[in-house]
Structure 1
Amino acid sequence: MVAFSTIFAGLLLSASGLASPLGTNTIEPDGRKFGNILCHIPIVQNFLCPRASNNKLLTVSTPIGTAQGVSTIQGVRRFPVKYASAARWAESSVVTSWSLPNGASNPSAQPLFCPQADAEPSEYSEDCLSMIIHAPDRIINKGASNAPVMVWIHGGSFLSGSATGPGLDASQLAEATGSVVAVIQYRLGALGFMSPSGSTNLAVRDVMNSLKFLQKVAASFGGNANKITVVGQSSGAHMIRALLAAPSASSLFQSAILQSDPMDFGFMSQAGQRELQTFFNEQISCASSNSNCLQGLTVEAILSAQDDLFWEASYLVPLAGQFEPIRPVRDGSLINTSLDSTTPFAKVSKPILISTVNKEAAPTIYGNFDFEITTDGFPSYGQVVGATFGDPRTSQIIDSQYYQVAENEDARAAIERMGTDYLWKCSGWTMARNWVKNGGTAYVGLYTLGSTYPANAGVSVCSEAGNVCHQDDIQIVFGTAPNPTTAQSNLIKEVQARYAAFLNTGNPNASGLPVWTKATTADVHALLLGGSGEAPVGACDPAFWGSAVQYDYQYYA
C-alpha cells in the first residue's frame, strides 16, 4: 500500500504543476514561464510581475553599506539584495556588506532562481540566497523604525519557486499594510536538504539567516526588527512550521501566517531521511568524503539525481509521500519537536494565523481525471480510495457520512473534499487546536473567493464561481489579482487590513470588519474569507480526522 499522499499528491504535481522534476508539464510549478511571457505585455505587467520600473534610482544607508533600489509606481521602493552566502552543501552565513544579487550592477535586475529542474540553466544559480525588500516611501521618510516587517516564503514543494514568481510583487501589499515586506529565496530540493554528508535542513537555516539579515537592516527601511512576521504558502508555510519547531529560530520573529500548509505531511523522520540520503548518494556516485567529486558535480547532475529520488521516495519511505518527499527533518538538533499529534506538543506562545482554500485539491482530481468516477466504474470510487489509503482507513472514510457516494454519482467531488480535508484543511485545524491547547493563540480562515493563479489556468474547475484552488489566495494577499471584480477588490482590502492588524498586534481584527474569533480547543472558529460567518466543522470534527482516521504522519509514525 502506498500512502494516499503518494498517489493523491503525485497527481497534484502533474495537475497543478506545484513541482515538476522532469520539467515536462505544460503548467509550470509556480506559473513562472507562463508569467514571464505575460510580463512582456504592458497591460498585465503591473498585475503579475515584479515592477520593472526604474525611473528613479534610490539609495538607503544601512549598517552594512548603501542599499540601491528603484521606485515602483505605487510609491514603494524595491531593493534586491543578497542576504547570505553558502558553498555547496554547507551552512550559509549572513553577508557582512550590502550587494546586489548575482553580482548585478543594476538594482532593477531580478535575482536568479535557486536551481530547479523546470528552469533553464541560465535562469538559476547556486548563488541564490537573495531577497527583494519592498518599503513604502512614507515609512522610509519617517526616519523612525516602527513599521512591522513581513517576510514572504514562497511555495513549490521545496523543489521550485522564487522571489519573482507571478503575483509576488509586494509593492501594493507593503503600501496597504504599512509594512516593510521582504520576499525571499532559499535553497531547494537536494541542495537544500540532501547534503551527502548527512547534514540536513540547510534550507531552514537559510531562511533563519534571512531573518537575521533583516534584523540588521530593517531599521534603515523604517522597519522594526522586533516586529517580524513570517508568512508562507504551501511548502513556504511548511517551512514556517519548521521555524516554529526550531528553538533557535524563536527569537527571529514574533508571529506567523501559514497559508495552505499541507500539514498531513509531518517533518521527515531521521530514519526516513537516512534512507532517502543513501539512495540520493547512490545516484550521484560520489563518496560523501570525496569533496572533489561532490564539488565537481554539475547542477544538472544533481537535479537529475534529485529527480530520481523524488519518484522513488514514497516507495523507499512511505512517510515521504510524493508531494514533498524532500522536506524539513526532525533532526533532534535544529528541529526537536514534531508539532503534530505523534509526540507531546511543545509549549508555545506566538500568535499564528492558519488559512486554507475551499478547493485545495481540485487541480489534482479534475486535472487528472477527465472522466467520471463512480461506485461501479473502473477505476471505481472504492478502488481509487483503497489503492491509496488501504485498510482500515478506506472503509472508515467511504462509510462515513462525509464522503458517501450514491450509485452512478460522480465521486470526484467526494474525492476532492477528501483530499482538501486531510492534506490541508482538517490537519490545519488539528494544528490550531494543539497550538491553543499548549499556550498559543491561533486564528483560522477559509477562502471562499480567490483569484485564479497562472498555474491553475488550465484547470477549468478552478475558474468556476465559488471554487478557490491551491495558490488562488496568493494574488488576493498581494493585491495583484488582474482586473479584480468588486468582490475580489473588497476581499483584498479586507485581507490586507487583517494582515496589517496581525503584523502589529498578533490579532487580525480590524476596524469595520466582522469579528474574527480566535480558535479554542473546542471550536477553531474558521472565518470565511470572501463569505460570511464561519465554516462548518464537517469532517474536521476532531473525532474523525486525526482520531478515527489517522493522518499520514500518525499512520506511518
Structure 2
Amino acid sequence: MPESTRAPEIRTTAGSVRGRMVDGLAVFRGIPFAQPPVGPLHLAPPAPALPWDGVREAVSFGPTPPQSLALGFGSGPETTSDSDEWLTVNVWSPDPGATTRLPVMVWIYGGAYLVGSAEGPTYDGAALAHRGTVVVTFNHRVGAEGYGHFEGAVPNRALLDQVAALEWVRDNIAAFGGDPGRVTVFGESAGAGAIAALLAMPRATGLFHRAVAQSVPGSVFTPALAADVGASVAAELGLPATLEALAPVAPKALRDAADAVLGGITRHGARWGRIAHAHLPFSPVVDGEVLPRSPWAALRAGQGSEVELMVGHNRDEARLFTVMSGRSGRITREEADTALERFAPGSGGAAAYRAAHPDADPTTMQDLVMSDWLFRMPSLRMAEAHTAGGGTSYLYELAWAAPAFGGALGACHGLDVPLVFGNLLGGIATLALGEEPPSEAWAVSDAMGRAWTAFAAHGEPGWARYRTGERLTRVFTTEPVTVPYPQEVSRRIWAEFDFAPLELGAGAGPTAAA
C-alpha cells in the first residue's frame, strides 16, 4: 500500500506517537501498552507502559513474544529483534480527528495458545478499517510465558495481557477516532477461547461491549492439570516449578523447555488425557481468581450477559490438520476408533457417531469427532450458554469450501480469518485460496466483512438472534442463508456434555455432564 508523506501524530496516555498515512488510513504500529515482561517483570502480570518524552515513531510492528517452534504446521515466526518489548498495539483508523467516533474492533489472535503475533498480511486491519471501523491488533504472551502455571506466579498472564490491551483501548482509542463505548473484541481459535475466558473474567467487565468468537476451543484446565504441565516444563530445566526458580530463566529457554514437553506430550496420556493426544499443553486455567469458573458455566449464570455475542465455527474444522499432516485418506479404522473412544462424549458417544454415520470412511469419522470436540460443539454451546444466561447471541457457520488441494480442505479451521479481514492474498489465504482467489472467495469475504462490521457498529449482523427452539444459524456460502443449526446430528450427540475444566488423570475420553 502506498504511504503518504503526511505523518499523523497522536497523544496517548504514555506519550506522543507518530504513524503513517497508508492508502487513506492513519496506521500506527508497535505502541507499547505495557512494559517488557522480562527481568524483574518476568512471569509477572503486565505493568503499565513507562511514559516517554518527545514523539515516538510508530511505524513498525513490535517484536513477537517467544513462540513455540515445535508445533509443526503453523509454528510462529521467530523474531530477529533483540528487543523484549513484546506487548504492543497497532491501530488502523479512517479518521483520527473524526467528530463522530467510529466503532472499534480489537483482534485477539489464535495459535493453540502456543504461537501468535499481530504481524503479517493476514491480520492487516486496512480492509476492515475502510468499512468504517477503527481496528486494533496487539501482541500478548503465549505458551509457558502466558499460560504456564507455576507456584507463586499469577496465573493466566496472557489473559491479563489482553485485559491490559483493552484498558489501553479504553483510555486512548478516542484520540484515534474510535468510540470507547463501542468496542468489539473478535478472535479465532485460541483467540476465541481467550474471548470466552474474558467474558467470564470480572477484571474484563466493561472493557468491551460486543464479542465475536470464531471457532471456540473447549479446553480450559483445572489448576492441578495446569500445575502438572508446569512441573514437566520446569523439570526439563532441572528446576522446581516455582516463580522464584523460573523467573531468572531466559524466556527463550523457557520456551524451549515447553517445546521439549510438547515433543513428547503423548507420553503423558494417562495423566493429561485428551490434551496429550490433542497436543494442547496450555489453555486458560480456571484458577478461581483471574478466571473464577469455566466460561460456559459463567455464561449460563449470567456473567457477561450485557455483552452482545456472535459465535460460530467452520464446517470442516479438523480437515486442516488432516490434510497438512499428509494423513487425508490414510487414517485407518483403528485410528478412527481410537479417536472416537478418546474424544466422543460419554460412554455411548462413540457408538452414537458410528450409528449416525454408518457409511463414513475412517478419515471422515476422525475429522468429524475432532471438529466437534475441538471447535464446533464448544462454539455452539457458547451460544446456548450465553442465551440461557440472558444474553443476546448470534450463531454462524462457514460452509464455503477452500479450492486448494483439490477441495480437500473444505471449510477448514482458519479459513474464516482471511475472509473476515478481507486479506485474500498472502499468508494462510494463499495456502487455502491459491495465488488468484476465485470470485466466490471475494463474495464470501465481502459478506462476512459486512456482517462483522455491522455487528460492531450496532449489534446486529444481519440475521435473527439465536434461540434454543429455532437455533437459527447464518451459513456463509456463495449465497449466505439463515437456517436451523446445520450440525443437528452432532448437537444431539453432545447435548448432555459439559465443557467443564479438564482434570488431571481424567483418562482418555470425555464424560457426560452430571
TM-score normalised over the length of structure 2: 0.83
Give the direction of change, closer, same or farther, for the CA distance of 1:378–1:261 in structure 2 (3 Å limit).
closer
- 1:45 maps to what in 2? none
Give the direction of change, closer, same or farther, for the CA distance of 1:96–1:214 in structure 2 (3 Å limit).
farther
- 1:262 maps to what in 2? 217
Q: What letter is aligned with 2:323?
A: Y
Do 1:426 and 1:540's aligned partners in 2 also have CA atoms closer than 8 Å? no
Give the direction of change, closer, same or farther, for the CA distance of 1:300–1:93 in structure 2 (3 Å limit).
closer
1:248-397 equivalences under 5 Å are: 248-263=203-218, 265=219, 267-287=220-240, 291=244, 294-310=246-262, 311-312=264-265, 314-318=269-273, 320-321=275-276, 322-340=278-296, 345-347=301-303, 348-368=305-325, 370=327, 372=329, 379=334, 381-386=336-341, 392-393=347-348, 395-397=350-352
1:213-252 equivalences under 5 Å are: 213-252=168-207
Give the direction of change, closer, same or farther, for the CA distance of 1:80–1:540 in structure 2 (3 Å limit).
farther
- 1:131 maps to what in 2? 89
Do 1:117 and 1:303's aligned partners in 2 also have CA atoms closer than 8 Å? yes
Displacement of 1:451: 6.1
The yes-or-no answer on 1:88 pairing with 2:35 is: no
Deviations 1:154-178 (A, max 9, x none): 11111111011331110111111x1
Displacement of 1:112: 0.9
Deviations 1:88-134 (A, max 9, x none): 1011122253699xxx9653322111111334462575420011111
Of 454, 464, 468 in structure 2, the residue corresponding to residue 517 of structure 1 is: 464
Do 2:294 and 2:500's aligned partners in 1 also have CA atoms closer than 8 Å? no
Do 2:43 and 2:247's aligned partners in 1 also have CA atoms closer than 8 Å? no
Q: What letter is aligned with 1:331?
A: D
Of 144, 151, 166 in structure 2, the residue corresponding to residue 211 of structure 1 is: 166
Between the aligned partners of 1:55 and 1:404, the Cα distance in structure 2 is 64
Between the aligned partners of 1:65 and 1:387, the Cα distance in structure 2 is 52
Q: What letter is aligned with 2:139?
A: Q
Between the aligned partners of 1:202 and 1:365, the Cα distance in structure 2 is 31
Q: What letter is aligned with 1:298?
A: A
Do 2:497 and 2:512's aligned partners in 1 also have CA atoms closer than 8 Å? no
Do 1:372 and 1:412's aligned partners in 2 also have CA atoms closer than 8 Å? yes
Corresponding residue SS for 1:526: strand
Corresponding residue SS for 2:387: helix
Between the aligned partners of 1:318 and 1:383, the Cα distance in structure 2 is 13
Displacement of 1:343: 10
Do 1:356 and 1:425's aligned partners in 2 also have CA atoms closer than 8 Å? yes
Do 2:106 and 2:185's aligned partners in 1 also have CA atoms closer than 8 Å? yes
Deviations 1:356-388 (A, max 9, x none): 1121111223334646468xx664643553466
The yes-or-no answer on 1:151 pairing with 2:106 is: yes
Between the aligned partners of 1:548 and 1:92, the Cα distance in structure 2 is 36
Q: What letter is aligned with 2:91?
A: I
User: Gaps (5+ residues) in structure 1?
Assistant: 1-50, 510-515
- 2:23 maps to what in 1? 73
- 2:396 maps to what in 1? 445
Between the aligned partners of 2:473 and 2:140, the Cα distance in structure 1 is 31
Corresponding residue SS for 1:419: helix
The yes-or-no answer on 1:532 pairing with 2:481 is: yes
Do 2:314 and 2:399's aligned partners in 1 also have CA atoms closer than 8 Å? yes
The yes-or-no answer on 1:181 pairing with 2:135 is: yes
1:188-207 equivalences under 5 Å are: 188-194=142-148, 196=150, 197-207=152-162
Between the aligned partners of 2:408 and 2:3, the Cα distance in structure 1 is 32
Between the aligned partners of 1:398 and 1:468, the Cα distance in structure 2 is 21
Give the direction of change, closer, same or farther, for the CA distance of 1:98–1:261 in structure 2 (3 Å limit).
farther
Displacement of 1:272: 1.4
- 2:506 maps to what in 1? none
The yes-or-no answer on 1:476 pairing with 2:427 is: no
Displacement of 1:57: 2.5
Between the aligned partners of 2:124 and 2:138, the Cα distance in structure 1 is 12
Corresponding residue SS for 2:182: strand
Between the aligned partners of 2:184 and 2:123, the Cα distance in structure 1 is 17
- 2:363 maps to what in 1? 412
Deviations 1:240-285 (A, max 9, x none): 111001012111111100011123x2x2112212222222222223
Between the aligned partners of 1:98 and 1:542, the Cα distance in structure 2 is 53
Between the aligned partners of 1:476 and 1:290, the Cα distance in structure 2 is 41
Give the direction of change, closer, same or farther, for the CA distance of 1:281–1:399 in structure 2 (3 Å limit).
same
The yes-or-no answer on 1:58 pairing with 2:14 is: no
Of 362, 380, 383 in structure 2, the residue corresponding to residue 432 of structure 1 is: 383
Do 2:149 and 2:227's aligned partners in 1 also have CA atoms closer than 8 Å? no
Between the aligned partners of 1:182 and 1:342, the Cα distance in structure 2 is 27
RMSD over aligned Cα, in angstroms? 3.1
Do 1:443 and 1:519's aligned partners in 2 also have CA atoms closer than 8 Å? yes
Between the aligned partners of 1:344 and 1:141, the Cα distance in structure 2 is 41
Give the direction of change, closer, same or farther, for the CA distance of 1:254–1:306 in structure 2 (3 Å limit).
same
Displacement of 1:189: 0.6
Corresponding residue SS for 2:370: helix
Q: How many corresponding residue pairs?
A: 477
Do 1:358 and 1:468's aligned partners in 2 also have CA atoms closer than 8 Å? yes
Identity of aligned residues (%): 21
Larger CA deviation: 210-219 vs 540-549: 540-549
Between the aligned partners of 1:272 and 1:288, the Cα distance in structure 2 is 13
Deviations 1:285-328 (A, max 9, x none): 3346684x534423332112111333436543225343432111
Do 2:64 and 2:78's aligned partners in 1 also have CA atoms closer than 8 Å? no
Give the direction of change, closer, same or farther, for the CA distance of 1:214–1:99 in structure 2 (3 Å limit).
farther
Give the direction of change, closer, same or farther, for the CA distance of 1:396–1:243 in structure 2 (3 Å limit).
same
Give the direction of change, closer, same or farther, for the CA distance of 1:343–1:517 in structure 2 (3 Å limit).
closer
Do 1:82 and 1:99's aligned partners in 2 also have CA atoms closer than 8 Å? no
Displacement of 1:439: 0.4
Displacement of 1:346: 3.9
Give the direction of change, closer, same or farther, for the CA distance of 1:382–1:124 in structure 2 (3 Å limit).
farther
Give the direction of change, closer, same or farther, for the CA distance of 1:146–1:75 in structure 2 (3 Å limit).
closer
Q: What letter is aligned with 1:189?
A: G
Do 2:336 and 2:365's aligned partners in 1 also have CA atoms closer than 8 Å? no
Of 49, 67, 86 in structure 2, the residue corresponding to residue 116 of structure 1 is: 67
Do 2:185 and 2:208's aligned partners in 1 also have CA atoms closer than 8 Å? yes
Q: What letter is aligned with 1:545?
A: W
Corresponding residue SS for 1:427: helix
Give the direction of change, closer, same or farther, for the CA distance of 1:303–1:433 in structure 2 (3 Å limit).
same
Do 1:450 and 1:476's aligned partners in 2 also have CA atoms closer than 8 Å? no
Do 1:189 and 1:306's aligned partners in 2 also have CA atoms closer than 8 Å? yes
